[in-house]
């Protein structure tokens, strides 16, 4: 059965893929995608999907998906993957809410405490009604970002 998505790489794309494979640039997924595209090139080795899957250590469906993505989405998206449009969860604190948290951390701790702990800060932020609920980890990330 003839392939629906034929991979034809330009010389520049081929060189970029060879560079990724040779220097192991990027994630293991990126290197694997580069290997698959190089082997699937119709103007190059033109290996079958089964042979590519065995050589790279993946399923044939993965090879088919990468071929299809190259034709439909383009070279950069295929090699690097899609960027997320937005975060999977909305941020708990916006810029206006972060400022009092940072100011609170810089102020003196409550009576009976030598320093602010993350959990103590989280409780105080809820007590001051800056947000309805917050975890100490969100406080940590906010303070780390502020440094």
Q: What's the mean pLDDT when you consider all of the chain?
A: 93
Q: What mean pLDDT comes out for the span 67-76? A: 95
Q: What is the pLDDT of residue 63?
A: 96
Look up the pTM and report it. 0.66
Lowest mean pLDDT among 14-18, 90-94, 119-123, 132-136: 90-94
Q: What is the pLDDT of residue 3?
A: 79
Lowest mean pLDDT among 6-10, 80-84, 103-107, 120-124: 80-84
Q: What mean pLDDT comes out for the span 115-141? A: 95
| DSSP β-bridge partners for residue 7 | 41
* Long-range contact set of residues 2-7: C-beta below 8 Å, sequence gap at least 24: 3/67, 4/68, 5/64, 5/67, 5/68, 5/70, 5/71, 5/72, 6/42, 6/67, 6/71, 7/37, 7/40, 7/41, 7/42, 7/67, 7/70, 7/71
Write out the two tokens for 53.
Answer: 């899957």
Write b or e for each residue in 41-52: b if 16 or more Cβ atoms lie within 10 A of its Cβ, otherwise e.
Answer: beeeeebebeeb
Between 4 and 64, residue with greater pLDDT: 64
Q: What is the pLDDT of residue 95?
A: 87
Q: What is the pLDDT of residue 90?
A: 86
Q: What percent of the chain has pLDDT over 70?
A: 99
Tokens 């917050």 sit on residue: 134
Environment class of 142 (CB within 10 Å of its CB; exposed 0-12, middle 13-18, buried 19+) = buried
Q: What is the pLDDT of residue 1?
A: 62
Environment class of 62 (CB within 10 Å of its CB; exposed 0-12, middle 13-18, buried 19+) = middle
């Amino acid at each position: 059965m003839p392939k629906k998505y034929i991979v034809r790489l330009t010389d520049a794309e081929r060189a970029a893929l060879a560079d990724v494979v040779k220097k192991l640039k990027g994630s293991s997924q990126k290197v694997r995608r580069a290997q698959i595209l190089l082997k699937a090139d119709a103007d190059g080795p033109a290996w079958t999907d089964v042979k590519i899957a065995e050589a790279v250590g993946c399923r044939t469906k993965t090879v088919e998906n990468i071929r299809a993505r190259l034709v439909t989405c383009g070279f950069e998206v295929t090699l690097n993957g899609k960027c997320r449009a937005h975060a999977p969860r909305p941020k708990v604190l916006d810029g206006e809410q972060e400022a009092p948290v940072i100011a609170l951390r810089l102020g003196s701790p409550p009576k009976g405490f030598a320093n602010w702990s993350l959990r103590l800060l989280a409780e105080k932020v809820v007590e001051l009604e800056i947000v309805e609920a917050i975890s100490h980890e969100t406080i940590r990330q906010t303070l780390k970002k502020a440094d």
